[in-house]
Structure 1
Amino acid sequence: MRITVLGGSGAWPVAGGACGGYLVRWADYRLLIDPGFGSLGHLLGHTRAEDVDAVLVSHGHPDHCADINPLLRARTLSTSPPDRLTVAAPHGALDAILALDEPGFLDDSHRLAEFTPGDAFRLGPFQIQSVALPHSVDNAGFRISAGGRHLAYTGDRGPDPRMVDLASGADVLLAEATFPEEVPARHRGNLSSARDAAVEATSAGVGHLVLTHLWPGTAHRRAYEAAVPYFRGPISVAQPTMELDLGSADHAS
């Protein structure tokens, strides 16, 4: 299983960066997770829009799904449009994004596979276990497994013991870490910090912690240093072009 980070900003992209977006590959199968603002441009540096096999979305905030629109446009307007793309998301999460174009324009580009957080399902070679995690809208965390390798991903969420259970023994925990240490009162319960993510990673016994969804302008070093006292394994901060091979990754911080 190989993971390519397309972006790691929360809320809006920093200059030259992108909001969250993660390409996960097993053999020739390409699964795109949470394609937020700006992630498509980075994705196209790794694969064609037509070659994405499925999309998995944690929730409907645009910094996690806005670039589904240009992805489907690229497939629809291709000189050789591919088969419909499976797009899995919580019920109703993509209604606004899919309504951006004129009615019917994108209908032949995708097949919407809605689920309820807590459901288990397959996308190609990947077994997906989802769990409902606290956020301001319905949000799913995921455990994504193939060939004995496991990636856990939080979406956006407040700290929750269900995430620890979901991530137990995972090779990589890709964790929302909007703030370094303290979560401001107005976001408490709906978002997390790098410190929260490190505590969860330790409790879950994961192999490698990747901090993502940093508030724009947050120094990567600050997020990293906030996590270090609470997790003894490798820690990275998500940024475009980062690649992780779950079998033999060079886990640079």
Structure 2
Amino acid sequence: MKVTVLGSCAAWPEPGRACSGYLVEHDGFRLVLDLGFATLPRLLEHCPGGAVDAVVVTHRHSDHCVDLNGLLRVRHYGERTLPRIPLLCPAGAAAVVDGLEPRPRLAELFDLAELPGSHQVGPFRVEGVELPHHVPNAGVRLTVTDRTVAERTSADRTLAYTGDTGPDPRLAELGADADLYIMEATLQAVPAPGEPRHLLTATEAGEWAEQAGARRLLLTHFWPGSDRDLSLRQAAAAYSGELLAADEGLVVDLSSSRR
């Protein structure tokens, strides 16, 4: 399994960057995790004509889903011979994209299934975990294995991704022993006490990844203009594994992850 970062920004893309998006590949199967602003051109560099095999969207905010409309257009107008593919997302995400224009509709080209939930998509077991955010959000856990739980070995690979989230005990469950934990690290300071928590600090991302025992932590969803090196230092104070900052074009090979 390998992961390519399509975008790493929160809210809106900085010049030369994109919002949340990741291409996950295993044994020729290509799954896209989120498609925020400006991710589609980067995806098309890897998958000409929008030739992907599945899409997973964590929630309906535009910095995570708006370029799904572009992928729909590519497959509808440009590559009509491509097969229908799964689209997994929480309630409301598809409606936001369909609300951009009357035709085409996502259901014409995609087989919609709801997250949270558990689904088999190609070689991936996709498990959604509800996490706190301004709107329904599903953290996602992808596992590649052809064996039963009792037969699994160190050769199996697991990727976990928070989408957007506030602090929650389920973060340890979502990322438990993951080979790569992709965690949003939007904030660099804890908000004032009493305010609802819908996003993580980089320090909290490090704390939850450490508690989960994740082998590698990839910080992402940086607020535009943030000092990313500062976020890395904050996470490193709490996390003892290999630590990375998401950067457009970065490729992470999970076959080499150990802790």
TM-score interval w.r.t. the shorter chain? over 0.9
**Equivalence for 2:2:** 2
Instruction: Please tell me whether the aligned partners of residues 183 and 192 of structure 1 are also in contact (alpha carbons under 8 angstroms).
Output: no
Aligned to 1:226: 234
Confirm or deny: 8 A CA contact 1:122 1:128 kept in the other structure.
yes
Contact 1:183 1:193 in 2 (8 A): no
Residue in structure 1 matched with residue 140 of structure 2 by the alignment: 142
Q: Give the equivalent residue in structure 2 for 1:19.
A: 19
Aligned pair in 2 of structure 1 residues 17, 247: CA closer, same or farther (>3 Å)? same
Distance 2:206 2:33 in 1: 22
Paired residue for 1:66?
Answer: 66
Shift of 1:150: 0.4
The answer to whether the aligner puts 1:245 opposite 2:245 as a matched pair is: no
Aligned to 1:204: 212
Match of 2:127 in 1: 129
In the alignment, structure 1 residue 31 sits paired with structure 2 residue 39: no
1:165 is matched with 173
CA–CA distance in 1 between the matches of 2:99 and 2:237? 45
Kept in 1, the 8 Å contact 2:215–2:257? The answer is no
Provide the residue aligned with 1:95 in structure 2.
95
User: Structure 1 residue 28: deviation in Å?
Assistant: 0.8
Determine the C-alpha separation between the residues in 2 that align with 1:139 and 1:106.
19
Q: Residue type matched to 1:130 in 2?
A: G
Deviations 1:131-172 (A, max 9, x none): 111111111111110031000100101011111012111001
Shift of 1:22: 0.3
Structure 1 pair 107–150 and aligned structure 2 pair: CA distance change class (3 A)? closer
1:48 and 2:56 correspond: no
Q: What amino acid is aligned across from residue 4 of structure 1 in structure 2?
A: T
Cα deviation, residue 48, structure 1: 1.8
- Say whether the 8 Å CA contact 2:8–2:248 is kept in structure 1: yes
Tell me, in whole angstroms, the C-alpha distance in 2 between the residues paired with 1:215 and 1:89.
24
Match of 1:170, as an amino acid? A
Give identity over the alignment, percent. Answer: 40
Alignment partner of 1:175 out of 159, 163, 183: 183
> For residues 65-87 of structure 1, what are the alpha-carbon distances to aligned partners after superposition, in whole Å with 9 as ceiling and x for unaligned?
00000011011111543112321
Partners of 1:164 and 1:107 in 2: how far apart?
34
Question: CA offsets per residue over residues 22-77 of structure 1, 9 Å max, x none?
Answer: 00001110000011011011111211243100100111101000000001101111
* Equivalent pairs, count: 248
Q: What letter is aligned with 1:246?
A: L
Question: What is the TM-score normalised by the length of structure 1?
Answer: 0.92
Aligned residues of 2:185 and 2:202 also touching (Cα < 8 A): yes
Distance 1:224 1:104, change over 3 A: closer
Q: TM-score, normalised by structure 2?
A: 0.90
Q: Secondary structure at the match of 2:248?
A: coil
Change (3 A) 1:228 1:49: same
Task: Verify the 8 A CA contact 2:49 2:78 in the aligned structure 1.
Answer: no
* Cα distance in structure 2, aligned partners of 1:169 and 1:162: 14
1:78 is matched with which residue?
A: 78
Offset of residue 187 of structure 1: 6.5
Contact 1:19–1:39 under 8 Å retained in 2: yes
| Cα distance in 2 for residues equivalent to 1:171 and 1:35 | 22
* RMSD value, Cα: 1.8
Cα displacement string for residues 155-192 of structure 1 (whole angstroms, at most 9, x for unaligned residues): 10101111101211100110011012324669641111
Partner SS state of residue 157, structure 1: coil
CA contact (8 A) 1:22 1:34 kept: yes
What is the DSSP-based 3-state SS (H/G/I as helix, E as strand, rest coil) of the residue aligned with 1:225?
helix
Q: What amino acid sits opposite 2:109 in the alignment?
A: S
The answer to whether the 8 Å contact 1:133/1:157 transfers is yes
Uncovered stretches (5+) of structure 1, i.e. residues with no partner: none
Kept after mapping to 2: 8 A contact 1:9/1:17 = yes
What amino acid is the match of 1:32? V
